[in-house]
Amino acid sequence: MEGKLKKTSLYNEHIKLNAKIIEFAGYLMPVQYESIIEEHLAVRNNAGIFDVSHMGEIWIKGFNATEWLNKIVSNDIKKMQIYQAQYNAMLYPEGTVVDDLLVYKFNEQEYMLCVNAANIQKDYDWLKEHQEKDIEIQNKSDEYSQLAIQGPKAEEILKPLINIPINEIRYYRFAIGEVIGKKAIISRTGYTGEDGFELYISNEDAISVWQGIIERGKNYQLKPAGLAARDSLRLEAGMLLYGNDMDNTTTALEAGLDWIIKFEKENFIGKEALMNQKNEGLKRKLIGFELLEAGIARHSYTIVDEEGKNIGFVSSGTFSPFLKKSIGMAYVPIEFTKPDTEILIDIRGKVRKAKVVSLPFYSRRKKIF
């Protein structure tokens, strides 16, 4: 129902740019402006700007914030420096996933969690359920707008607009500064596999910051990019999407999130279940695949064996503009997870061949600092 859908502060900007609008996580969002492939390639070759204001921002404050939060998340936040961002996950006791998120450490007593738009209320309720005395939990999602500027030219475009030396903000670090004179949390993070920045700004400043960056970006072929390009970019980069590639039915180990599960931590929700699963051995796992025939394998298509029996499913799939191939992620039985293993995917009634490939499909050359 349209009356219940939310708009970001930039909605009219998207309409002005002729964006196609869809409903996503309760918001009216731009899915594409012109061509998904062009927006995708713009990010890979130059830069793209995304309105990601629908994402959630939850603040954690308290004298024991670090101890408390470290029991809720799977990665080790004690290892974080201040002004560092860390990819993380919150798990159920069964080891399945509540959400994946970025944890921002302001200091030992203050953290910001950037969570998926579709999970804001669920995540907030989950944190409240585990709240302890002296821990403050504040959902500030409606107070912030968020822009992502991603691509090899992102730094060059933003450099003169930011009041602090941008090259001093290293990968997965952030700073509090100003963009075009407006207060912002500026982090060198992103969901595209390119260098880039995410800016957290107030809703009142969103339009002027957006317009200012677009204006500046004109000489650099900066393009506005929508949710469709955001999805094909993250998939190429091997990044997971909650709701597709993991949810409350998949454990963090099955989803391949081993690298953010720190078993050496004394305790965190889901640790025991994951330890058990690790000892018993996984029965299925998320893999990347490449189609060997024509077609696109989309979310929920089934993986079949040679007798046509259902053995798994596609969690995400698209056409990769950079690789010019159909790619995707799928849950398959553990015996099918080695790279180059052939798998069969039922694409609308026709069985097509695909092969398992290591993630990511695409990786940019890393900048040396």
Task: Catalog residues that contact another protein under the rule CB under 8 A.
Answer: 32, 35-38, 228, 232, 294-296, 318-319, 321, 326, 348
What are the φ/ψ torsions at residue 226 (nearest 5 degrees)?
Answer: -105, -170
Smallest distance from another protein to CB 39, Å: 10
- In the complex, the smallest distance separating the C-beta of residue 325 from another protein, rounded to whole angstroms, is 10
Going by C-alpha positions, the residue among 223, 192, 189, 195 that lies closest to residue 49 is: 223
Give the span between the Cα atoms of 284 and 332, in whole angstroms: 5
Least Å distance, CB 303 to another protein, is 19
Exposure string for 67-92, b = 16+ CB within 10 A, e = fewer: ebbbebbbbbbeebeebbbbebbbbe
- Considering beta carbons, is residue 228 or 332 the nearer one to another protein? 228
Taking the complex as a whole, the smallest distance from the CB of residue 352 to another protein amounts, in Å, to 11
275 in helix, strand or coil?
helix
Instruction: Let me know: does 55 contact 41? Beta carbons within 8 Å.
Output: no
Nearer to another protein, 36 or 237 (CB): 36
Cα separation of 207 and 309, whole Å?
Answer: 52
**For 81, which DSSP code?**
P
- Residue 287 contacts residue 328 (beta carbons within 8 Å): no
Q: How far apart are CA 325 and CA 297, in angstroms?
A: 11
Beta carbon nearer to another protein, 31 or 101: 31
Q: Tokens standing for 145?
A: 């707008």
Assigned token pair, 155 = 């730094």
Q: Give the three-class secondary structure for 5.
A: coil
Largest CA distance in the chain: 63
DSSP 3-state assignment of 369? coil
Q: Which is nearer to another protein, 46 or 326 (CB)?
A: 326
The nearest distance, CB 348 to another protein, in angstroms, is 7
- Residue 158 vs 228, nearer CB to another protein: 228
Least separation in angstroms between CB 298 and another protein = 9
> Which is nearer to another protein, 9 or 232 (by Cβ)?
232
Q: Which is nearer to another protein, 88 or 232 (CB)?
A: 232
Cβ distance to another protein smaller for residue 133 or 348: 348
Rounded to a whole number of angstroms, the minimum distance from the CB of residue 310 to another protein is: 21
The answer to whether the CB of 5 falls within 8 A of the CB of 23 is: yes
Q: How far is the CB of 318 from another protein (least distance, A)?
A: 6
Neighbours of 11 (CB within 10 A): 19
Two tokens, residue 162: 């930011």
Minimum distance, C-beta of residue 42 to another protein, in the bound complex (Å): 13
Specify the residue, 50 or 319, whose C-beta has the smaller distance to another protein: 319
SS (H, E, C) 226-259: CHHHHHHHHHHCCCCCECCCECCCCECCCCCCHH
**Residue number, 265 or 298, with CB nearest to another protein:** 298
Separate counts of helices (H) and strands (E) for the chain: 8, 20
- In whole angstroms, how close is the CB of 247 to another protein at the nearest point? 22
According to DSSP, residue 55 is labeled S
